Every structure is written in C-alpha cells, then in structure tokens.
Amino acid sequence: MYKSAVYDEPLLNELVSAKKEIKSISDILPSSLQRKKKINIPNLDETQIIRHFHRLSQMNYGIDSGFYPLGSCTMKYNPKICEEIASWDNFANTHPYMDPSLVQGNLEIMFELERMLCEITGMDFFSLQPAAGAQGEFLGMLLTRAYHNSRNDNNRNEVIIPDTSHGTNPASAAMAGFKLTEIPSTKDGTVDLDILQKTISEKTASFMLTNPNTLGIFESEIIDIQKIVHDAGALLYYDGANMNANLGEARPGDMGFDIVHLNLHKTFATPHGGGGPGSGPVGVKTKLEKFLPVPRIGKNKDGTYILDYDAPESIGKIKGFYGNFSVLLKSYIYIIIMGKNGLKETSEIAVLNSNYMKEKIIKSGKYELPYKNLRKHEFVLSCDKLKKEKDIRAMDVAKRLLDHGLHPPTIYFPLIVKEALMIEPTESESKKDLDKYIDVLIKIADEDPNIVKNAPTNTPVKRIDEVNATKNPILNWKMI
C-alpha cells in the first residue's frame, strides 16, 4: 500500500544558512535605479536545497505513485520515453526566433501533429498555440465571434451550456464577452432537445458541449443537437476533456462540431506537472480556418517548413510564440507509439475499465448511479444514500481513500449529482488495481462513520482547515 513519507519540513526561509546577505551595488546604475530593498531569500547550500525538495516530493502523490482516478482529468500513465526525448538538447534548447532553417525538426513535428489531430478528431485545421484546455476554449470563443462578425451577424452575444458542463466553459465564454445561459439536462442526464430548441435564438453564438458528457454519458442525439444549433445559425463547440472515450470510435468532426479543443495533457499522455504546463490545441472546420492564430505552420513545395504570418483575417495571438512545444512533442511521440490500433484500444479499455468498476460498485448497493447506465470512460456515483444513512459525505469518502493509500476521484462535480464521486480509471490501470479500488470503496461504506469522518490520519497532515485558509489568508512567508 502506498504510504506517504511524513516530514515536518521547514520552509526554505526557516532553514539555517551560515551565509549573510551581501550588499551588491553596481556602479553602472544611478541611485534612482538601484534596489535598496532587502531580498529575504536564504543563501543555502545545494545539499540543503536538494534534501528540502526531495523530502517535499516524498509528500506528493503522482500517477507514478499509484491509481489516480480523477474524473474528467484523464490521469493516465505518462510514458518515460516522451520525457527523455523532450529533454534532448536539440529540442529543449531551440530558440523561437532562430532562423526557420535551424528549427526544421520542430516545425516538422508541429506540422505532422496538426495533421494527426485532424485525423483523430475529424476536423480540417488545427492551431497548437493554446497553453491549456481553458485557453483553447477561450480561443474557440474568439473564433466564434470572428466568424459571426465576418458574416455581419453581430448580435450573437449568448452562449448556451448544459448544466453538466465544466466550469471553464462558462468562464471562458464570459471572458470572451458572451452572456451565458445554462440549460437543465433530461432525466437521462443528457441534453434536453426541447429546451435547447426553446432556448436557442438568433442571439445564440455557440452551444458548448462535452461528448461524452461529464456524467460519462454519450450524447446519442448529437446529430439532432447539431441540426438545432446550425439551423439557428450558431456554432457547435466541443470540449475535448473527455476525448479519451472516443479515439478511433467516434469523431467530433463527424458529429457536426465546428470547433474542438483537446487537452494533450489528458488524452495524449503528457504529465500534468502538478497543474501544468498543459496544451489545448484547437481544431476547426474549413469555414473557420482563416481566423486561426498566427503563425500557422506551413510547408513549402520543396518540403521545408515555415512559420506563416500571412493571415489578414486571423484573430492574432493568444499566447507568446507557438504553443507549449515540449508538451506538443511528447504527444506527437505518444501518438506514433500508439498508432491507429493502439489509440483505438486506448479508448476501448478506458471505457471497459470504467464500466467494469461501475458495475461492480453498483452491485454492492453501497453507492447509487443516477441517470443512464451505460457509461463511457468515466462515471459519477452518488453518496447521497450514505449521507442520509450514516452522515458520510463524498468528502469523507475521498479523505478515507487517502488512508487506504489511494487517490480519491473528483468530488462534488458535476453539480447535478448529489454528493458526487466522479471516477475515471483510464486504460492505464490493471484489473488487480481496479478490484482493489472497488473493494476499498465498498469497505469504506461499511466502516465506522467516525473513522471515515475523521479521515485521513495516514497522511503527512490530517484533514485541513480550508475555511481558515480563506478567512485568514497567509500566502507567503512574509505574511506569517
């Protein structure tokens, strides 16, 4: 069983240093430019620093530590070969302003990756610029506006989202200046076509949808949905956070989506880095190509690659340079290792693992599964029964899982499921590990509620007072 190391590791500024802060004044600088303020960063030796961060790493759970089934986060294994190759000098130490003749390898990878993502999603063109999924959504909304404006259709100020949508969807649309309308799902947990039809209007710019949705349910009426959206003159946006269910099975481009973002750090196996760097490429249908950010990656007749800035209708840029290159490179490597069959098998087993866990857990009768039965790569349980019977909440179950050496699922999302546990096992886990997780979840439901409610006790710290953190914010060592 995984067990975290436990250290009372001091903060860096509490570590003892024999060295004093020096005064350093450069005679080049006039006094008006000289720094007078002290810098309270200790002057430690490398040994101290390495031990400090090494110990911190031992109090941190990663996918290499064990099963990490955060729903909608796709915590799959990150192949080591991708890490190694991305660290090669000829990739990691290339400069974005070097002459294109010196970075043909990078440009080839970006060009080819765009084409592979087009094939996988059924879209026509891709931009690799967005730094993360939410930035991809934001770009998607900027493209949506540019598209409608180019048609002198200037009154489309509204975006519709289902009540199951990720929080980034409304946040990104709002940042792009759109008003949000949220529509309730049907009793099956899918888009309500009647309500969508009633809500959509000549003011609607876009309908943003995840398919399979955040309950893990495939929106089987997607063809009708796209018809309603397009008949109203709006665009259909695909949140690709759940693409791990669809590889080689169904493509958003074929479903009628106009704009798609992918999360390379989810579906395409790059590490999450404790919250980034990620990458959120955006794919579009041909009618939107001319609005994509610059530069585009072009290929000359002689086979050389270029950075092409010649795009008068482009929205411009949404981030410095060309995209999170090393993340793109790792995904490129992942895709060529998996190949067409490996990608298809990825989704097959991701969906199999999810349904296997779901069936076994439901059979136990300890947790409920609101909405439709068949799920894709993830499923959402409710602890509502446990709460009513034993006053055990989703939060308690999550914390108790930590005591068993397992990482909890996403909790309290989507918002339409009471006391939600959102589980996404991915294809990376073995049956043995799935069985273990299932057993522990069932066991927790039968444990003494006092133990569960006081969990975790097997971690470096016990349950954390997050309310106090918000009430009395201490955000750095000078505030202590």
Q: Which is nearer to another protein, 233 or 460 (CB)?
A: 460
Q: Which is nearer to another protein, 161 or 445 (CB)?
A: 161
Q: How far is the CB of 82 from another protein (least distance, A)?
A: 9
Can you tell me the distance from the alpha carbon of 199 to that of 201, in angstroms, rounded to the nearest whole number? 6
Residue 133 or 283: the one with the smaller Cβ distance to another protein is 133
189 close to 158: Cβ distance less than 8 angstroms: no
∠ CA 164-167-171, nearest 5°, is: 130
Beta bridge partners of 239: 261
- For residue 360, CA distances in Å to 210, 278, 368, 439 come to 26, 33, 12, 9
Sign of CA dihedral 372, 373, 375, 379: positive
Considering the complex, state which of residue 286 and residue 341 has its C-beta at the smaller distance from another protein: 341
CB of 237 to another protein, least distance (A): 14
Contact by Cβ (8 Å): 276, 253: no
The phi, psi pair for 238, rounded to 5°, reads -110, 115
Q: How far is the CB of 461 from another protein (least distance, A)?
A: 4
CB-wise, 38 or 187, nearer to another protein?
A: 38
Pairing assessment for the beta strands 204-209 and 379-382 based on DSSP bridges: unpaired
Closer to another protein by Cβ: residue 302 or 466: 466
Q: How far is the CB of 446 from another protein (least distance, A)?
A: 22
- Minimal distance, residue 85 CB to another protein, in Å: 5
Smallest separation (angstroms) from another protein to the CB of 445: 19
User: Token pair for residue 381?
Assistant: 């349980």
- Closest contact distance (angstroms) between CB of 195 and another protein is 19
Q: Cβ distance 310 to 98 under 8 Å?
A: no
Nearer to another protein, 204 or 346 (CB): 346
Minimum CB separation of residue 197 from another protein in Å reads 19
What lies within 8 Å, CB to CB, of 169 at 6+ separation is 137, 161, 208, 239
Tell me the closest approach of the beta carbon of residue 451 to another protein, in angstroms.
Answer: 13
Nearer to another protein, 178 or 207 (CB): 178
* Tokens representing residue 73 in the block: 């986060």
Where is 198: in which H helix or E strand?
A: helix 193-199
Cβ nearer to another protein, comparing 9 with 289: 9
Pairing of strands 420-423, 379-382: antiparallel
Q: How many angstroms separate the CA atoms of 391 and 383, rounded?
A: 10
How is 380-430 classified by DSSP, letter by letter?
EEE-HHHHHHH---HHHHHHHHHHTT----EES-STTSTTEEEE---TTS-
